[in-house]
């Protein structure tokens, strides 16, 4: 039988990896032997490579369809395929069985502690990538290392172990990071997946928590002999023992003695190795016993085999083979599967506790009583009933709330409900707003609050009869009784000083110091503002915006401008006493754009000329914000300041700063001071701004250190944004700056806002993350809130929850609209509660979990050393996974890493957070960059953190040119790059186009308009507009990616082996980073070590 034809492809597993220099691999041999065709098997119950049953001649297995990996068959402890009572390809699913895997009869010798089969617990497990070819599998099985030995048992007779042999690194390109102990670099826990045979459906039983499992290399245990060359007759490609699914409903098929019967696929067992070497030969009946004589056709010793003699030879270099990353969970595959499974159907929010599709999936939402996941996403949609259970699992209970999120055009904005002078109906005790979960009783005359259980009277004007189910007959006519999200018009009681607010104002405050004039910034900005003022946000169908505008310029002093419509020319008033700031004019400072159009245009023409010859290099900063806030206070309105600033404010004035940039503090206990503001003056100023409803958006144009950590305090606490354009040059950065400015000025903002999150009895909101200010423990105060900002809320138990009633959240946001209307936006969400940990793990959302953990860590660096913050994250992640392993997974060998299906990407994503610039900066990352990213991530939504921490890498030249759809992404690793292709990488802030050195000349000509790779300009930021399909396709893709993100992504063309390639590789997050961050594979091994320590 030709094995290469009928052997089913399987997932590849561990190969020899380069070892960290300086670390010894205990109990590993490593002298290669001859090159004959071998296969080798370890001691019984010790680490073994998996061997799979081959079908007898004439029985061939159907190849997997559509590139999915083949069905993994359940295997017994020795790697024999145990089909048990199920037919070929059947997968067992169901409740946990208490029957443990049994060891074989005691007549066989045994080596180390038993290695149970790899246990995988998917209900429906998604495939990872295409199956490897037969040639690949042969290569990948060479030098397989599998060990799960917990404590070494006495060695079998005749087998001597020598002292540990140090193995030479197979690759010199990975210096030792010293972070993750003695795992071989790049060696990962191989994944065991239980999957149905293509075409065979697994029997449906109660769905267990889904999981994926791996067998990582332990640092003890013998290295298994490598396998090179052709396979033995009758042997199919195999990996380590591939498990049965978790929670089988009937006893696990027990490991049978040799010669056991297997239903489904009878056939000969794969022959074991044999030669004069001590070992375990397979007798004719398949059992282990005393060695026979050498078999013909097999060399001795086995190629690549470890000769377990007492005198180890000199260390031999290993062949440079790497573990196939398809054996560990792939973010790309998970995203793709979710798109395929959940992208076509609308997500209907009527059912409590539903986990929504991933943020990377395009889907429509139908609001039927719970808020859309575009407004609220939770870390888990099934929360533990008790605090003890929550502490045990360590899964943070948090919600990422985006109250003013923009919706796609196909989805309706929240309805606005006007209850007249009486205002919205609320609970008398807890003040929760009327929502679909309130229970009407006594024929509709009273209602019971779903949050605090208080009984309330229904006002006569709101009364309605109930139908036979106890529901109001007008329930579906009232948004607040049938929808998860809606708005109420607020009455005067909800306004400051019991007075309806005026429409808000925008004040543009422009730095006119030497740097700003010289770079061309001032001229560019003034020119753009002329047209931009036509696009101020407006309410609904209003013809023009109600927002008024004002202008200030500044360097060491401030210049206010009177642009009253009755003036022929604008008038300038200078305030030089910056220590005691006041606004020199009221009338004519804030004006309506259409009325004062001519005067404003004249002013914007004059500003660049007025300051063209300035030599003033010093600037002030705090007094500028103070002036804007005082102007809004005088006009009795809320509003926003747009500050355009270039340098560290060193002029004598309140808020003066000094240069404190000190890279020597990195990795010391004082590193946290780099993230803290220099002075408390800015916090005080921010507090005053919030009280006035004055939001600050800051555009920075630094050529050197400007102390972003301090300058961003006011934008951060007022709900504003910070934009940073280092070394700004008009020709290179104009498009990015103007695009950001347009979007920032045009976006809909809620002003002078207060947000409160109410919960049903049993949990309460205890912690908040985002860009806002809090003067008490419950109210989130936001001078401004736009559609890009989120507030992340953490919940803790204060009582026991009830499985039947579940848990409820209500987010209420009171704000002033762009037209000056006071409104309340309400979002409601019902969650399930559980008494079983398995239910918690089955309903988690990893993307939201990572969003929360990143924000938690980024706030932690303000008060703790960065190393402490990193260790806290790793420990928490290990505790989450160890709790799952201990309480939800079937018993299995400690040598396996078992991950819940919903959380199988937690290690790769967490590693990306740990390697981020804030927590592990490279030498090229400035202090300002770290502070900038830290405050940026604080208010990101889940979709933004997902792509920010794990960038998208799109191959542009692999799909046909005619195909205009977005190409499928590949994993963010250098291994995925081919030097004959072009790739586009984006992370929400950066857009890099990587060009391989061997790209076809025609492609280079079509895209760049030059004839060869060497003529492409490295660092190019604009692609030439060429009239061909490829050029149009790539430029169209870039435009569509930019449209998806809240900030403009500047393009940088990176050529292979160019100095800019280091920047590109920084974003290949599955690889080891230059700053010492672990590769995905290494981190997975490290997590497994941490979990094993917790479990032991």
- pLDDT average, residue stretch 1070-1091: 93
Q: CB count, 10 Å around CB of 750?
A: 26
- Ramachandran assignment for 113, one of left (phi > 0), alpha (psi -120 to 50 degrees), beta (any other): beta
Separation between Cα atoms, residue 1070 and residue 907, nearest integer Å: 11
Pick the range with the lowest mean pLDDT from 76-90, 570-584, 678-692. 76-90
Residue 590: CB partners within 8 Å, gap ≥ 6? 505, 507, 548, 549, 550, 631, 635, 637
DSSP 696-718: EEEEE--SS---HHHHTHHHHHH
Q: Is the peptide bond before 536 cis (omega within 30 degrees of 0)?
A: no
Q: Which two structure tokens, joined as six digits, stand for 536?
A: 């101020």
Pick the range with the lowest mean pLDDT from 91-105, 805-819, 842-856. 91-105
Q: Are 445 and 451 in contact (CB under 8 A)?
A: no
| Residue with token string 């308009």 | 1009
E strands of 604-762, at which residues?
Answer: 639-645, 694-700, 722-724, 749-759
Separation between Cα atoms, residue 61 and residue 54, nearest integer Å: 9
- Residue 378, φ and ψ in degrees, nearest 5: -115, 155
- As a whole number, the mean pLDDT across the chain is 78
pLDDT at 88 over 60: no
Beta bridge partners of 985: 953, 992
Q: Are 191 and 128 in contact (CB under 8 A)?
A: yes
Q: CB count, 10 Å around CB of 322?
A: 19
Pick the range with the lowest mean pLDDT from 264-268, 386-390, 598-602, 738-742. 264-268
Pick the range with the lowest mean pLDDT from 16-25, 497-506, 914-923. 16-25
Pick the range with the lowest mean pLDDT from 107-121, 353-367, 502-516, 800-814. 107-121
Q: Are 761 and 806 in contact (CB under 8 A)?
A: no
Separation between Cα atoms, residue 416 and residue 488, nearest integer Å: 6
Q: Which residue has the higher pLDDT, 38 or 424?
A: 424
Q: Which residue has the higher pLDDT, 891 or 566?
A: 566
Alpha helices in 888-1020 (DSSP H): 906-914, 927-938, 942-949, 1001-1008
Q: Which residue has the higher pLDDT, 163 or 892?
A: 892
Q: pTM of this prediction?
A: 0.75
pLDDT digits (tens, 9 = 90+) for 115-137: 333 333 443 333 334 443 333 33
Q: Which residues of 130-152 are buried (b: 16+ CB within 10 A; e: fewer)?
A: ebbebeebbbbbbbbbbbbbbeb
Percent of the chain with pLDDT over 70: 70
First to last CA, the chain: 47
Instruction: Place 29 in a pLDDT band, splitting at 50, 70 and 90.
Output: very low
866-887 and 846-860 helices, crossing angle to 10°: 150
**SS3 call for 987:** coil
Separation between Cα atoms, residue 972 and residue 267, nearest integer Å: 42
Separation between Cα atoms, residue 127 and residue 195, nearest integer Å: 8
Instruction: Place 214 in a pLDDT band, splitting at 50, 70 and 90.
Output: low
Nearest to 436 by CA among 352, 374, 363, 355: 352
Separation between Cα atoms, residue 15 and residue 593, nearest integer Å: 69
Residue 370: CB partners within 8 Å, gap ≥ 6? 349, 350, 352, 354, 484, 828, 829, 830
Q: Which residue has the higher pLDDT, 542 or 844?
A: 844
Q: Are 911 and 1083 in contact (CB under 8 A)?
A: yes
pLDDT digits (tens, 9 = 90+) for 653-675: 999 999 999 989 988 899 999 99
pLDDT of residue 215: 56
DSSP 102-170: PPPPTTS---SS--PPPPB--SSPPP-SPPPPHHHHHHHHTT------SSPPPPPTT----S-B--B-S
Instruction: Place 924 in a pLDDT band, splitting at 50, 70 and 90.
Output: confident
Nearest to 490 by CA among 825, 826, 823: 823
Pick the range with the lowest mean pLDDT from 189-198, 535-544, 545-554, 997-1006. 189-198
Separation between Cα atoms, residue 816 and residue 754, nearest integer Å: 10
pLDDT of residue 167: 34
pLDDT at 520 over 90: yes
pLDDT of residue 553: 97
Q: Which two structure tokens, joined as six digits, stand for 489?
A: 């018009």
Nearest to 360 by CA among 907, 984, 941: 941
| Residue with token string 């890279």 | 663
| Residue with token string 């090159």 | 35
Instruction: Place 314 in a pLDDT band, splitting at 50, 70 and 90.
Output: low
Separation between Cα atoms, residue 656 and residue 711, nearest integer Å: 11
Residue 176 CA, distance from chain mean position: 27
Q: Are 142 and 15 in contact (CB under 8 A)?
A: yes
pLDDT digits (tens, 9 = 90+) for 151-201: 333 333 333 333 333 333 333 333 333 333 333 334 444 443 333 333 334
Length of the chain: 1096
């Amino acid at each position: 039988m030709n094995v290469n034809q009928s052997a089913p492809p399987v997932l590849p597993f561990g190969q020899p990896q380069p070892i960290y220099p300086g670390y010894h691999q205990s109990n590993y041999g490593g002298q290669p032997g001859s090159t004959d065709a071998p296969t080798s098997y370890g001691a019984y119950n010790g680490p073994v490579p998996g061997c799979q049953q081959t079908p007898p001649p004439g029985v061939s297995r159907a190849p997997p369809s559509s590139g999915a990996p083949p069905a993994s068959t359940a295997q017994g402890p020795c790697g024999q395929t145990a089909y048990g009572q199920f037919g070929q390809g059947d997968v067992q699913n169901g409740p946990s069985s208490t029957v443990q895997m049994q060891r074989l009869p005691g007549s066989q010798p045994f080596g180390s502690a038993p290695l149970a089969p790899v246990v995988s617990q998917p209900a429906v497990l998604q495939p990872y990538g295409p199956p490897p070819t037969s040639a690949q599998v042969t290569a990948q099985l060479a030098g397989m290392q599998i060990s799960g030995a917990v404590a070494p048992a006495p060695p079998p007779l005749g087998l001597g172990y020598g002292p540990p042999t140090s193995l030479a690194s197979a690759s010199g390109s990975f210096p030792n990071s010293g972070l993750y102990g003695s795992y071989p670099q790049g060696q990962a826990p191989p994944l065991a997946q239980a999957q149905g045979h293509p075409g065979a459906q697994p029997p449906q039983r109660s769905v267990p928590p889904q999981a994926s499992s791996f067998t990582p290399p332990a640092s003890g245990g013998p290295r298994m002999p490598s396998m090179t060359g052709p396979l033995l007759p009758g042997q199919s490609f195999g990996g380590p023992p591939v498990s049965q699914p978790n929670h089988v409903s009937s006893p696990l098929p027990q490991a049978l003695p040799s010669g056991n019967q297997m239903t489904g696929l009878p056939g000969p067992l794969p022959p074991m190795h044999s030669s004069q070497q001590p070992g375990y030969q397979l007798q004719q009946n398949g059992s282990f016993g005393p060695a026979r004589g050498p078999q013909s056709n097999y060399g001795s010793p086995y190629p690549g085999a470890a000769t377990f003699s007492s005198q180890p030879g000199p260390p031999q270099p290993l062949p440079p083979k790497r573990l196939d990353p398809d054996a560990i969970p792939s973010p790309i595959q998970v995203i793709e599967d979710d798109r395929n499974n959940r992208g076509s159907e609308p997500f209907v929010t009527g059912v409590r506790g539903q986990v929504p599709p991933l943020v990377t999936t395009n889907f429509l939402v139908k609001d039927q009583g719970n808020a859309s996941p575009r407004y609220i996403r939770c870390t888990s949609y099934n929360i533990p009933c008790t605090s003890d259970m929550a502490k045990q699992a360590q899964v943070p209970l948090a919600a990422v709330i985006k109250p003013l999120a923009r919706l796609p055009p196909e989805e309706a904005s929240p309805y606005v409900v006007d209850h007249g002078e009486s205002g919205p109906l609320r609970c008398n005790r807890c003040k929760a707003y009327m929502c679909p979960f309130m229970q009407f009783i006594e024929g509709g005359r009273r209602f019971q609050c779903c949050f605090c259980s208080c009984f309330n009277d229904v006002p006569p004007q709101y009364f309605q009869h109930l139908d036979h189910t106890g529901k109001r007959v007008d329930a579906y006519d009232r948004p607040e009784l049938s929808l998860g999200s809606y708005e109420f018009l607020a009455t005067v009681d909800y306004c400051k000083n019991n007075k309806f607010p005026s429409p808000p104002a925008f004040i543009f405050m422009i730095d006119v110091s030497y740097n700003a004039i010289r770079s061309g910034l001032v001229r560019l900005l003034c020119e753009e503002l002329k047209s931009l003022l036509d696009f101020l946000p407006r309410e609904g169908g209003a013809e023009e915006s109600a927002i008024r505008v004002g202008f200030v310029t500044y360097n060491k002093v401030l210049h206010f401008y009177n642009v009253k419509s009755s003036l022929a020319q604008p008038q300038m008033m200078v305030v030089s006493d910056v220590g005691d700031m006041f606004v020199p004019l009221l009338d004519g400072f804030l004006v309506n754009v259409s009325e004062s159009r001519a005067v404003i245009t004249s002013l914007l023409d004059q500003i660049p000329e007025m300051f063209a010859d300035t030599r003033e290099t010093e600037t002030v900063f705090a007094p500028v914000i103070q002036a804007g806030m005082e102007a809004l206070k005088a006009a009795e309105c809320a509003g926003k300041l747009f500050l355009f600033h270039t340098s560290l404010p060193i002029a004598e004035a309140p808020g003066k700063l000094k240069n404190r940039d000190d890279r020597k503090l990195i990795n010391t206990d004082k590193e946290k001071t780099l993230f803290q503001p220099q002075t408390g003056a800015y916090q005080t100023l921010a507090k005053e701004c919030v009280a006035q409803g004055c939001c600050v958006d800051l555009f920075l144009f630094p050529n050197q250190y400007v102390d972003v950590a301090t300058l961003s305090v006011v934008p951060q606490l007022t709900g504003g944004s910070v934009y940073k354009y280092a070394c700004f040059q008009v020709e290179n950065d104009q498009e990015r700056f103007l695009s950001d400015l347009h979007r920032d000025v045009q976006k809909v903002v809620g002003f002078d806002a207060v947000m409160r999150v109410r919960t049903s009895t049993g949990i309460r909101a205890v912690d908040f993350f985002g860009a806002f200010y809090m003067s008490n423990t419950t109210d989130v105060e936001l001078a401004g809130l736009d559609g890009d900002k989120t507030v992340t809320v953490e919940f803790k138990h204060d009582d026991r929850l009830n499985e039947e009633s579940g848990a409820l959240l209500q987010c209420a946001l009171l704000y002033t609209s762009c037209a000056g209307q006071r409104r309340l936006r309400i979002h409601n969400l019902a969650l399930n509660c559980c008494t079983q940990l398995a239910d918690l793990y089955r309903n988690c959302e990893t993307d939201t979990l990572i969003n929360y953990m990143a924000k938690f860590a980024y706030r932690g660096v303000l008060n703790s050393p960065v190393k402490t913050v990193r260790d806290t994250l790793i420990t928490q992640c290990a505790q989450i996974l160890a709790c799952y392993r201990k309480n939800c997974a079937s018993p299995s060998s400690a040598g396996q890493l078992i991950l819940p299906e919903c959380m199988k990407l937690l290690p790769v994503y967490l590693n990306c957070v740990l390697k981020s610039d804030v927590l592990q900066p490279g030498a090229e990352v400035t202090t300002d960059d770290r502070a900038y990213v830290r405050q940026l991530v604080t208010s990101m939504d889940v979709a933004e953190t997902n792509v920010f921490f794990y960038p998208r890498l799109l191959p542009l030249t692999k799909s046909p040119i005619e195909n205009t759809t977005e190409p499928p992404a590949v994993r963010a690793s250098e291994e995925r790059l081919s030097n004959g292709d072009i790739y586009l990488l984006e992370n929400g802030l950066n857009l890099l186009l990587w060009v391989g050195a061997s790209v076809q000349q025609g492609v280079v000509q079509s895209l760049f308009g030059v004839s060869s790779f060497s003529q492409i300009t490295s660092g190019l930021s604009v692609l030439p507009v060429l009239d061909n399909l490829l050029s149009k396709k790539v430029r169209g893709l870039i435009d569509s990616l930019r449209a998806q993100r809240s900030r403009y992504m500047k393009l940088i063309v990176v050529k292979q082996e160019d100095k800019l390639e280091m920047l590109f590789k920084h974003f290949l997050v599955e690889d080891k980073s230059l700053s010492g961050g672990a590769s995905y594979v290494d981190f997975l091994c490290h997590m497994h070590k941490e979990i094993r320590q917790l479990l032991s």
